[in-house]
Amino acid sequence: MEIVLKNISKRFGAVRANQDISVAFYSGRIVGVLGENGAGKSTLMKILSGFQAADSGEIWLDGQRVRYRGAQEAVRAGLGMLQQDPLDVPAFTVLENFVFGNPNLANPRQKLAELAARFGFHLDADALCGQLSIAQRQQLEIVRLLALGVRALILDEPTTGISAEQKELLFSTLRRLAREEGMTVLLVSHKLEDVIALCDEVIVLRGGRLVGRTSMPTTPQALVAMMFEELSPIDARPSLPLGQTALRVESLHLHVDRLHLHNLNFSLRGGETVGLAGLDGSGQEAFLRVCAGLLRPQRGRVCVGEQDFTHRSYRDFRRAGVYFTAAGRLEEGLIAGLTLTEHVALTDEGDDGAAWINWIDAEKRAAARIARYQVRGQPYSPIETLSGGNQQRVLISLLPEHPRALLLEQPTRGLDVDSTRWIWQQLEARRQQGAGIVFSSAELDELVTYSDRILVFYEGRCVEVADVRQTSADALGHLIGGNF
Amino acid sequence: MDSVLQNTLNTVVSNATPLVIAALGETITERAGVINLSLDGSLALSAMVGFVAAYAAQRSGVSAPVALALGVTSAALIGALMALIIAWGGITLRRDQVAVGFILTLLAADLAQFLGQDYTRIPGPTFPTVPVPFLVDLPVVGPILFRHSLFVYFSYVLLIVCWWWLFRTQGGLAHRAIGERPASAYARGVDVNGLRYLYTILGGALVGVAGAAFSLNLKPGWANPPSMRGDGWIALAIVIFGGWHPFRVLLGAYLFAALRAFASAAQRSGDVGIPLVLLNAIPWLAMILTLVFVSSGVLERLLRVLPRAVQNRARALLRSDPPAALGTRFEP
């Protein structure tokens, strides 16, 4: 399907999310839509797929001007969007999800099986959707949209939270759809390697404007140059003389749900960074929580410094200088509905044990952190109104200056290259002050770049990569897949 | 079969029927993501209005069937009106549904007592017992299930329709989806808030019918304080107990009525040696124990023994999670 956008503009309050964007996409092509966080790529795609209305501008599909109200009308016009969090109903079975919204489908069970078999998807029609992995839910959405007869597919950050093999399956599916059916595929992503691996061409947005369009192949450097006006350079990462043991785990045994961690030994010294690699749910999340006192191990010891902290609460760990931040920023890390000042007050005063809050002082401290951590927001801004990158900055700003150990679950998840580097500058500064850092990440490059050692988890087993400098992201990828 | 036992079970079914109708109505509402907490007040007010309407109609010389129909209709309208207030407050005015429901239930209960004070303890029209031809002659179940008033038969039909609609139709998919994940339903072209209005009002109308089932059949007439006081809360508890599934809701209502019958029988015989307070608490204790059982790991372990194909069915039937979007607002 040929898609032409003409002069699309959209504002949210004072923010111009899209400014006068005109662009065309052609049949059988896979086009990457690149841009940093807040560049306006999601907004543009939501306008195209009917989830949002543009303030002005026109959409033409196959030479005809279309106007639709709502995503359903866009689907009827042939345009389907796969959201980052697939828009299904977790309480429904796979089959019910497949049928819902498509009442004229004859013999749905067979149709679902056919489509799934064609692309090599494993979808149990009677399984509950809520029990599927993100990748399977994406697959379900894709076959659902295909059954509705869409001729163009938009995917918003589809590779977040899925494994390398699932990503390969997704990409081969998209290639086949483009080559065999002449489908137009738009891939919204901030991951350059995905775009380079899959796309025929790339458009780049910056500050709500279309700033570049290029055919593939091209180099990552060229794409980065288009995405960012200027890049903060990666500081050379000095090896530091290691300090004392900050955290030690001895013969740890842990059973949570289906996960078994077995006889795990680990120690972290001041001034070093240890990366945790592995697919989601391989044990690294549970391990981090054990180190923070948030999960109780069945056997084994957790020591902070030289003291035994097994079975003590997270509060005690914090008092001893061990801090944890969760990947779910708004779910676990921050509190939606509270302002920045309230977060500062909650963190600081809570640690002092003072009963009364000095609001004037708390607001001053919030303002100071906003300035120091370059947060785009005000002390009175409710935290959920900030963008993801700014929420992460707030989360980092709430960590103390001189911790003993930082336990960070995917500290840069969903952030663009620039924000990621900035976050790491802050973390490095704390490491140089003597803190030990343990972090998990799904990005192999990040693990290789910022770690002194890496622990790779696979189904609860764990192997250590001691010399990261001799390891490539590829070799790490093999380990993550279980090829120890 | 022992005819005493048959009679007891027959009474259990008829005693449970208003609860069944009210709880199925609330199930319809909650499945759409709206919580109507005004049940206790709505039941009282609609029972009172239903009785007064039927009574007044009969006094003005209308035949009994027409008077009864008028009574049921006006009770249903009152229930629907209460639900409309919930929907308007919760959806259009974007207020907290729980808060609106609480206020409404208190208001309606007091209003029923105040407006109904001139109509207490007077005889009015009642629904007769109508055995179903042929079915009543069935061995064992016939006399238990098919010698009742129309309300009981209505509850059977309602149960089947409710289940069929929720789990066998496209409309039912949309109905459940707006209670689970309205954003998904909206993306598939469903008018989320429009349907929420519809199912809230429909559920409320059924609560109204349940009110009429009290005052025109089970406990005919009107009294201050009303005899069904507290039953609205029980109906709400039965919806939770029933896991928002029509058949389990019915089962819950029957179980509750059976335990109540047992408790009062034990009280009457007077020599069981159990304190009265404890006897009255038996239905509640049983409910709490069942909820604990359903949500504990024991059930999940039992389920895993079953073959895979049956497992999902059984899980859907036994699930105890509320609709994920229950009580939340949706703004497209």
What tens-digit pLDDT sequence spans chain B (332 residues)? 578 888 899 999 999 999 999 999 999 999 999 999 999 999 999 999 999 999 999 999 899 999 999 999 999 999 999 999 999 999 999 999 999 999 999 999 999 999 999 998 898 899 999 999 999 999 889 999 999 999 999 999 999 999 999 999 999 999 999 999 999 999 999 999 999 999 999 999 999 999 999 999 999 999 888 888 889 999 998 998 888 999 999 999 999 999 888 888 877 776 667 777 787 787 778 778 877 776 667 777 777 787 777 776 777 677 678 899 999 999 87
| Interface confidence (ipTM) of the complex | 0.85
Question: B320 touching A, CB under 8 A?
Answer: no
- Does the pLDDT at position A345 exceed 50? yes
Q: Hey, what are A228's tokens?
A: 């960012």
Q: Hey, what are A333's tokens?
A: 């890390």
Is pTM beyond 0.90? Reply is no
A-chain residues within 8 Å CB-CB of B321?
91
Question: A68 touching B, CB under 8 A?
Answer: no
User: Which residue in B189, B309, B316 is closest to A101 by CB distance?
Assistant: B189
Beta strands (DSSP E) in A257-397 are: 259-269, 273-277, 299-304, 307-308, 322-325
Distance from CA of B86 to the nearest CA of A (A): 25
Question: B280 touching A, CB under 8 A?
Answer: no
- Does the pLDDT at position A461 exceed 90? no
Question: B168 touching A, CB under 8 A?
Answer: no
Query: Distance between CA A296 and CA A240 in Å, rounded?
Result: 32
Distance from first CA to last CA of chain B, Å, rounded? 58
Taking an 8 Å cut-off on Cβ atoms, the answer to whether B186 and A92 are in contact is no
Query: Distance between CA A327 and CA B6 in Å, rounded?
Result: 60
pLDDT of residue A228: 66
pLDDT for A368-393, tens place per residue? Answer: 888 888 888 888 888 888 877 788 88
Residue A308: DSSP 8-state: E
C-alpha to C-alpha distances, A252 to A264, A267, A296, A462, nearest whole angstrom: 5, 12, 10, 12
Question: B186 touching A, CB under 8 A?
Answer: yes
Distance from CA of A16 to the nearest CA of B (A): 21
Taking an 8 Å cut-off on Cβ atoms, the answer to whether B176 and A91 are in contact is yes
Taking an 8 Å cut-off on Cβ atoms, the answer to whether A73 and B170 are in contact is no
ω into residue B225 within 30 of 0, thus cis? yes
Question: A109 touching B, CB under 8 A?
Answer: no
Burial class (CB in 10 A: 0-12, 13-18, 19+), A215: exposed
Q: Which of B157, B125, B112 is nearest to B17 (CA)?
A: B157
Burial class (CB in 10 A: 0-12, 13-18, 19+), A283: buried
